[in-house]
Amino acid sequence: MIEFALTAKRGIDKLGILVAVMIAVGSMGLPFLIYRANRIVSGSPRSIIESLPAGKAAILLVLLGIVAFCAVVVRSSKLRLYGAVSVLLVLALAVGQGAGFITPVDNTFARVSPGSGVWLILFGLVLLATDALARMRPEPWVRIGALALALAVISLLLWSGIWDQLSVLREYANRADVFWRESQAHIVLALSALGSATLAGIPLGILCYRAPRLRAATLQVLNIIQTIPSIALFGILMPVLGFIAAQVPFAAALGIRGIGAAPAIAALFLYALLPIVANTAIGLSQVPRSTVDAARGMGLTARQLLFDVELPLAFPTILTGVRIVLVQAIGLAAIAGLIGGGGFGTFIFQGIGQTAMDLVLLGALPTVGLAFSAAIILDALTDFMRGTHS
């Protein structure tokens, strides 16, 4: 109580106002759940009061009100974090219970989806928790531990079956084998682009660092590639790779063809080059001249200087480029579904074609989850490496 009183006197938090408005609008002004008689018909919106038994609906509304109030007046990062995480867990349970509550017994055709209110409240709570974590500045291992705990809780909720009545889980149940096959394809696309771009980009970045004229021309070309829309780049690569496959039998035997994974990996590779090349050159240029001069004075050769001094000191900056590339590749790999490359984009575009938004979510949610997890892990690793070299 003393801590609350002290923090409340410091004034109103502007971000907290935004979070409170999002929670208020999401809980009172927008649908909490959407009920459909089947997977493709228009749904009927249900409020929190209509989606849950009266007692549980009242508890959820009270908790949302408390966390919204605390977001505005409480400045303690720990209290804001604990409040946001606690209500997030309650919200997750409420969505699952609400789906079971409004679904008729033994009805296998009905579909229940989270409404826009749930997504707005979810975004507000995640924003509040993320802001609290940023202010607390936890150690890298703490961030990775928090991510592992969050994934464990989500896995437990999935295993418990509390979300089984949600339509996105019903879509998954009908496509479990395909889902895991496409998830592997998505990861392969992203990691293939990352691996090939790293192998080509770091040496190219070293050359750009050594030759300023080459650096200007190379970065200009890579910047132009970045301006090409992803679908357009796929379209450019498809006939080129198709022609190569037709003229070079060995290339076709390796799987290079106009559609499928080959143009997707090629496009992702081209997009990935700029962050790695630029960050490698920047990282090397930021190595202190005094350190380089001292290493030369000790008799190190140019090769030893590069691999024993410059690259280790530049590694955190290079790793930042790798993080950008991996997150970008995970997101852009979804477009590969348009050209038969597989991945989660397969569900996204199938859902759009069938006007089945829960099928879209089946592809979109794991894509977002993978990108978010990769960003946290590589951010933590980058900070750890910077701390090691500082």
Residues 218-243 pLDDT 10s: 999 999 988 888 888 878 887 777 77
Average pLDDT, the chain: 87
Query: In sequence order, which ranges of 161-260 are alpha helices (DSSP H)?
Result: 167-174, 176-210, 212-227, 230-247, 249-253
Helix, strand, coil % in the chain, rounded to nearest 5: 80, 5, 15
Q: How far apart are CA 151 and CA 372, in angstroms?
A: 11
Where residue 8 falls among pLDDT bands split at 50, 70, 90? Answer: very low
CB 16 within 8 A of CB 117: no
Tokens representing 142? 């703490």
Q: How far apart are CA 358 and CA 112, in angstroms?
A: 9
Where residue 182 falls among pLDDT bands split at 50, 70, 90? Answer: very high
Question: Got the DSSP string for 211-223?
Answer: -HHHHHHHHHHHH
| The pLDDT value given to residue 260 | 72
Where residue 2 falls among pLDDT bands split at 50, 70, 90? Answer: very low
| The pLDDT value given to residue 157 | 92
Q: How far apart are CA 361 and CA 114, in angstroms?
A: 11
Where residue 384 falls among pLDDT bands split at 50, 70, 90? Answer: confident
User: Residue 15 is which amino acid?
Assistant: L
Pick from 66-70, 344-348, 351-355: least confident: 351-355
| The pLDDT value given to residue 385 | 80
Whether the per-residue pLDDT at 9 is higher than 60: the answer is no
Tokens representing 19? 């979070």
Whether the per-residue pLDDT at 21 is higher than 90: the answer is yes
Whether the per-residue pLDDT at 26 is higher than 90: the answer is yes
Contacts of 176 (CB under 8 A, 6+ apart): none
More confident residue, 255 or 38: 38
Q: Which structural domains are found in the chain, ordered by start?
A: 2-168 (no CATH), 176-389 (1.10.3720.10)
Where residue 7 falls among pLDDT bands split at 50, 70, 90? Answer: very low
Tokens representing 92? 């997750």
**DSSP state at residue 27:** I
Q: What mean pLDDT is predicted for residues 106-117?
A: 86
Q: Phi and psi of 226, rounded to 5°?
A: -65, -25
Q: According to the per-residue pLDDT averaged within each range, which of 23-27, 35-39, 299-303, 384-388 is highest?
A: 23-27
Whether the per-residue pLDDT at 64 is higher than 50: the answer is yes
Q: How far apart are CA 268 and CA 237, in angstroms?
A: 11
Q: CB count, 10 Å around CB of 183?
A: 17
Q: Phi and psi of 276, rounded to 5°?
A: -75, -45
Whether the per-residue pLDDT at 4 is higher than 80: the answer is no
CB 242 within 8 A of CB 316: no
| The pLDDT value given to residue 239 | 79
Q: How far apart are CA 181 and CA 261, in angstroms?
A: 14
| The pLDDT value given to residue 356 | 81
| The pLDDT value given to residue 228 | 87
- What percentage of the chain carries pLDDT values higher than 90? 53
| The pLDDT value given to residue 103 | 87
Closest CA to 235 of 208, 205, 267, 204: 267
Q: How far apart are CA 38 and CA 188, in angstroms?
A: 34
- What percentage of the chain carries pLDDT values higher than 70? 93
Q: Read off the pLDDT of residues 115-148 as tens digits, 9 standing for 90 and up.
A: 999 999 999 999 999 999 888 888 888 889 989 9
| The pLDDT value given to residue 329 | 93
